[in-house]
Amino acid sequence: MKKLILIALCLTFSGLAKDSPPITKVLFLGDSLTEGYGVKKELAYPYQAKTFLEKEGHKIEVLNGSVSGSTTASALSRLKWFLKGKPQLLFLALGANDGLRGIKVEESKKNLASAIELAQEKGVKVVIAGMLVPPNYGPDYGREFKAMYKDLSEKYKTAYLPFLLKGVAGETEFNQEDGIHPNEKGHKKMGKLVADHLMNLLKEE
The catalytic residue positions are 32, 178, 181
Q: Annotate 124-179 with DSSP letters as a single string.
A: -EEEEEP----GGG-HHHHHHHHHHHHHHHHHHT-EEES-TTTTTTT-GGGB-TTS
Instruction: Check: CB of residue 125 under 8 Å from CB of residue 205.
Output: no
Rg, Å, the chain Cα set: 19
Find, among 52, 79, 86, the residue nearest to 187 by Cα.
52
Sheet holding 89-93: strands in order across? 59-64, 23-30, 89-93, 125-129, 159-161
Determine the Cα–Cα distance for residues 82 and 159; give it in Å rounded to an integer: 20
Find, among 88, 90, 89, 107, the residue nearest to 99 by Cα.
107
